[in-house]
Amino acid sequence: MSYTVGDGIVAVALAAGVVGYVYVTHQSRRKRLEIIHQERLAAMEKGIPLPELPLEPARNPHAPDPNVIPILGMVLLSLSVGAMIALTQILPAPLQGFWIAPLPLVFLGVGLLAFHFLKRDVSR
């Protein structure tokens, strides 16, 4: 398998993107710590006591969205059934057996929908 120049450019661009993201996050964290340090030095010179601050801000975890599982199940089910229909129409006669290729995604979508409806509250 031979690679083209475009493939190399894509790989270099992805690597540069990852390195750039890591660099920007490191710089922002360093800048924030530098500002906190300068504020503390100024407060110490004036004799003002400061409370201890965490180095990393606390993350506020939010509750998972209950609509994600059924939406994902419907998307997987509809896309895979559509792909199966398209494959039956497009493929030539010797390759008609490949229409079942998206079948695992059909089962995954049906499973996610079944999980959602079996898991929900019976009291509602």
Whole-model pTM above 0.75? no
**Of the candidates 56, 2, 49, 52, which has an alpha carbon nearest to the alpha carbon of residue 25?**
56
Query: What confidence category does residue 122 fall into, taking pLDDT thresholds of 50, 70 and 90?
Result: low
pLDDT of residue 11: 95
CA dist 121 and 123 (Å) reads 5
